[in-house]
Amino acid sequence: MTRSAPLLPIAYSDEVTAAKERGAPLVALESTIITHGMPYPGNLEMARSVERIIREEGAVPATIAVIEGVLHVGLDDAELETLAQTAGAMKLSRADLAFAIAERRTGATTVAATMIAAARAGIRVFATGGIGGVHRKAEESFDISADLDELARTGVIVVCAGAKAILDIPKTLEVLESRGVPVVTYDSPDFPAFWSRESGLPSPLMLNSPAAIAHFQTVREQLGIDGGMLIANPVPEESEIPRREMEIYIQRALDHAERDEITGKAVTPYLLDTIFRLTDGRSLATNIALVENNARLAAEIAVALAI
């Protein structure tokens, strides 16, 4: 008797299965933003609305998460609702995505883990809010998100609203450049800073249409260049919180984090939560608006890639 290796426990939603069969454009979505990035019920509203926007644009959403040891690519509404209320979900990156599956745990995927799952499922475009990056004072803490290395190695286009201004944005851009990750701002010369349309830094590259982004990716593939690319899509003007104002809240949140000795995986969720409270929820409204904006662009890119 020959023993074959057991298959990876992976579950595609009906909608994703049908999309794969007919070759329809797909957009992956992460779940850490749901479990660790926003409070309930705003997180559920956001998760539902980004899926709706992707469908309106003619693509199919695939929210990715690990539920009781099964890697889900595409969640139905009941699963989305349960996840949005799961307090103890793990926050999974490259280091522990397989651990959660092996140990039959439930966990949400970060940008890095979502890219791994998307690539495995043949999904080429992924929408999120902001990527992880090089934290301020990283020269002391060594806190650099695994998202950056994942962008360098895994061939998925990640649409974000820039790097969160809680990070050290110049250092984050330096690391992306050293690792050979193209950073393309959509329709703006300024690299955006998540809640704000500007970071004070110019963007390395700029493109003005989903078709141009798809074409750039095609040429990268023709050259045999693997790895991902980052599309930075500035938050719509009517939803932005200007940089100078944000800086006050960010500084306060960083002081709180230092006082409470927050380290490791807990840093990003802690800072986001503190900023939500300091801005009386205004940062949450901005966060939802920018993710919706990114979902729309990601769907347009996925459609353009499929042409």
Is there a catalytic annotation at residue 164? yes
Which residue type is seen at 29? Answer: L
C-alpha to C-alpha distance for 294 and 292, rounded to whole angstroms: 5
Contact 148, 178 (CB under 8 A): no
Which residue type is seen at 162? Answer: G
Candidates 57, 143, 147, 300; binder of Mn ion (CB under 5 A) is 143
Handedness of CA 154, 100, 13, 10 (dihedral sign): positive
- Please pick, among 15, 20, 30, 57, the residue that the annotation labels catalytic: 30
Structure-token pair, residue 81 = 């609702």
Identify which of residues 60 and 151 has a Cβ nearer to ligand PSU in the complex.
Answer: 151
Which residue type is seen at 222? Answer: Q
Residue 287 interacts with ligand PSU (CB under 6 A)?
A: yes
Is there a catalytic annotation at residue 30? yes
Count how many residues are written for the chain: 307
Residue 25 near which of ligand PSU, Mn ion, none (CB within 5-8 Å, type-dependent): none
- Please pick, among 15, 20, 150, 164, the residue that the annotation labels catalytic: 164
Residue 188 in marked binding region? no
C-alpha to C-alpha distance for 244 and 78, rounded to whole angstroms: 40
Contact 107, 66 (CB under 8 A): yes
Residue 130 interacts with ligand PSU (CB under 6 A)?
A: yes
Residue 143 in marked binding region? yes
Structure-token pair, residue 75 = 């969640």
Window 103-122: contact mask with ligand PSU (x via CB under 6 A): -------xx-----------
Residue 168 interacts with ligand PSU (CB under 6 A)?
A: no
Q: Count residues contacting Mn ion (CB under 5 A)?
A: 1
Window 111-130: contact mask with Mn ion (x via CB under 5 A): --------------------
The closest alpha carbon to 195, from 167, 216, 165, belongs to 165
Residue 96 interacts with Mn ion (CB under 5 A)?
A: no
Residue 30 interacts with ligand PSU (CB under 6 A)?
A: yes
Contact 128, 291 (CB under 8 A): yes
Q: Count residues contacting ligand PSU (CB under 6 A)?
A: 18
Identify which of residues 233 and 304 has a Cβ nearer to ligand PSU in the complex.
Answer: 233
Q: Which residues contact 80 (CB under 8 A, 6 or more apart)?
A: 34, 44, 47, 48, 51, 63
User: In angstroms, what is the minimal distance from the CB of 109 to ligand PSU?
Assistant: 7
Give the residue ranges of the annotated binding site for Mn(2+). 143
- Contacts with ligand PSU by CB under 6 A lie at 30, 32-33, 36-37, 110-111, 128-130, 132, 145-147, 265, 268, 272, 287
